[in-house]
Amino acid sequence: MRVRNLLAPLKVFARTRYERVPDLVRLLIQRPAILAAVGSYESALLVSGRVEGRIKALAELKTSSLVGCPF
């Protein structure tokens, strides 16, 4: 389960063209301590497997649709 959680974003990134992704990197790299903290939090979520990835993905999708984040 956890391996699947980790692989899912990697698979998506691997098959995507990166025209705009550097935007996020460019923004966060200006504050390296925040970039590192974001990386740590994202990693911690990816290796947390007590809840099925599908359930977390649905909750996250609902959030981004309500907050209006197209990314």
List of residues contacting other proteins (CB under 8 A)? 4-5, 7-9, 11-12, 15-21, 23-24, 27, 41-42, 45, 48, 50-71
Smallest separation (angstroms) from other proteins to the CB of 36: 15
Q: How far is the CB of 14 from other proteins (least distance, A)?
A: 11
Separation of alpha carbons 19 and 35, rounded Å: 20
Smallest distance from the beta carbon of 58 to other proteins, in angstroms? 5
Is the Cα dihedral 24, 44, 68, 14 positive or negative?
A: positive
Residue that the structure tokens 């984040």 belong to = 69
